[in-house]
Structure 1
Amino acid sequence: MATASKYKYTDIIFEIKGKIGIIKFNRPKSLNAFGGSLLGDTVSALRELNEHPDTVFTVLTGEGRFFSSGADVKAAAGRQTVEYANPAAKKIDFMASISTAIELLRSMIDHKKVLVLALNGPAVGGGAAWFEGIADIVLAADTAYLQVPFSALGLVPEFGSATAFYHSIGAHRANDFLMFGRKLTAQELEQWGMVNRILPTQGFHQKVVDFLEDQLNINDGKSMMETKRLQNLPLRRERMLAVYDAAEALAERFVEDAPKQRFAEKNKLLLGKSRGGAL
């Protein structure tokens, strides 16, 4: 029987099934974009499960057909333009705006339970970069894929993903994915070692629970958690430093207005193609 959280969450579904804690992004109409209170809710739920006395696995997954489409572009477009006194003020303001994302990454890096990423569907941008290299186990639906547009938008790999993907799949494959925006299917990700197992999309969430329950029937929960602790212990400092290095690099891109310029260039190109097609 599933149990609920003691806290009220708006943009995630939280439940505990025996020794399995589940955090499910619940903004399916926006393809689980990082808007509303989704990031804050997730940080709180990770903290709650980290201290839970009985759970072994923490599952991070999504409701609907997408795991996550990353940044909430519509919400960002609606923000008012701010005039800054100098570049330093602009950078400080940006760094303050990403504090929740940094705490989310720290919460995952320091999470004591076995962190299972269950990719129920495609993931784009931050959804394809923030979680995959940090998770201890990655299960993917057969229709899932990952893709990031960082270089195309004048951005950089976000919140330590360059280091995390390097650890998981190696430098050349990570560069192909992060620099060039290559779309990686679940099947390619399994071949490259990023995904542990591919499961059918139909009934995916229940199949994830069934798989983890089978592991709990075979293996001791404390031993699995200790294996995770020992494996990740030497990686913790490097991962956290990578998060802050990436945040600083991303902030500088925004200070330079690189993303704004790339958006303007792409919109101009699209407008030109539209006019050309109309003639």
Structure 2
Amino acid sequence: MAQKYNDIILEVRGKIGIIKLNRPKSLNAFGGTLIMDVIAGLRELNEHPDTVFTVLTGEGRFFSSGADVKAEAGREPEEFKNDAEKKVSFMSRFSYAIELLRSVIDHKKVFVLALNGPGVGGGAAWFQGVADIVLAAEGAWLQVPFNALGLVPENGSAIAFAQSMGVHRANDFLMFGRKCTVEELEQWGMVNRIFPAQGFHQSVTKFLEEQLDVNDGKSMMETKRLQNAPRRTERMMAVFDAMEALAERFVEGAPAQRFRDKKALLEGEIAVSNSFYFITNDSSYSQIERSI
């Protein structure tokens, strides 16, 4: 099954389906065909006759570094007749992300997010609030630069995080770009369990297999359905509202100016603040602690 996709590895181990983000050189940034591959993988596993769990995880040392900042910084500006045309253009760009979140929200299997390493931006916010179970590797962390880039929390994460960890903690994380360790997030109810970083993927599989030895798969899936069904409309509206607000930010030009400021530093490397990263010629990232 892995050969069907360019930027993910999809495999089935008994009753466990695994989607592994597979762009480790770019720290699993959302470039290439990654988003479309994940959507297709979720659809395939949603209809798989045998699986109970669907695990989303990453290859390499990061879960995901989020948007491909280097590609965004190099995007040529477009001309629009008016603000309405500009907004519609940006809304159409977000269709992949909207379908990705719908695929998670409507997924029939128990959706397990397995954070093998740090998550940044979309990699820290898109899946965490809508996953059924969140497992993490020791030492992993999450951080978002949305407001630093003139953006807004994406894909309904403002509501999802507030529901999971409380409004004040969510504001600290989403507004101020606070870097949160998975150990903190476990205390706040955002992470279920933490496993050693060494052998993390094996630990996740072993843990889920142990749950299958004790619990009936269909019952776990029904538990998920009963819990999530009343929240489906609210979650989808949150995704749409976030995309609409994000499009308005692009209409106002705030993100474009922020990206232009970063592009001025992009010549082999780009210095990025807080949760921004040095992007080298091979698109790899390394974290820097630096104020904007």
TM range (shorter): over 0.9
Counterpart position of 1:118: 114
Among the aligned pairs, what percent are the same residue? 74
Aligned-residue offset at 1:268: 7.7
Aligned-residue offset at 1:170: 1.1
Q: Secondary structure at the match of 1:248?
A: helix
Q: Which residue, out of 93, 98, 102, partners 1:97?
A: 93
- Structure-1-length-normalised TM-score: 0.93
Amino acid across the alignment from 1:171: V
Amino acid across the alignment from 1:248: E
C-alpha distance 76-262 of structure 1, shift in aligned 2 (>3 A) = closer
Q: Which residue, out of 212, 222, 235, partners 1:226?
A: 222
CA distance in 2, matches of 1:211, 1:87: 51
Counterpart position of 2:13: 17
Q: Is the 8 A contact 2:28 2:64 kept in 1?
A: yes
Q: Deviations over 1:99-150 (max 9, x none)?
A: 0100000000000000000000000000000000000000000021000011
Aligned-residue offset at 1:261: 2.1
Q: Which residue, out of 54, 58, 65, partners 1:62?
A: 58
C-alpha distance 267-44 of structure 1, shift in aligned 2 (>3 A) = closer
CA distance in 2, matches of 1:263, 1:71: 12
CA distance in 1, matches of 2:243, 2:118: 24
Counterpart position of 1:206: 202
Q: Secondary structure at the match of 1:60?
A: strand
Amino acid across the alignment from 2:195: L
Matches within 5 A, 1:1-150: 4=1, 8-150=4-146
CA distance in 2, matches of 1:56, 1:83: 48
Counterpart position of 1:276: none
Which structure has the highest helix share of the two? 1
Counterpart position of 1:275: none
Counterpart position of 1:250: 246
CA distance in 1, matches of 2:12, 2:246: 36
Unaligned runs of 5+ in 1: 272-279
Counterpart position of 1:163: 159
Q: Do structure 1's residue 183 and structure 2's residue 179 form an aligned pair?
A: yes
- Structure-2-length-normalised TM-score: 0.89
Q: Secondary structure at the match of 1:101?
A: helix
Aligned length: 267
Aligned-residue offset at 1:262: 2.7
Amino acid across the alignment from 1:109: I
C-alpha distance 206-172 of structure 1, shift in aligned 2 (>3 A) = same
Segments of 4+ moved more than 3 angstroms? 263-271
Amino acid across the alignment from 1:29: K
Worse overlay, 262-271 or 61-70 = 262-271
Worse overlay, 57-66 or 167-176 = 167-176
CA distance in 2, matches of 1:62, 1:156: 25
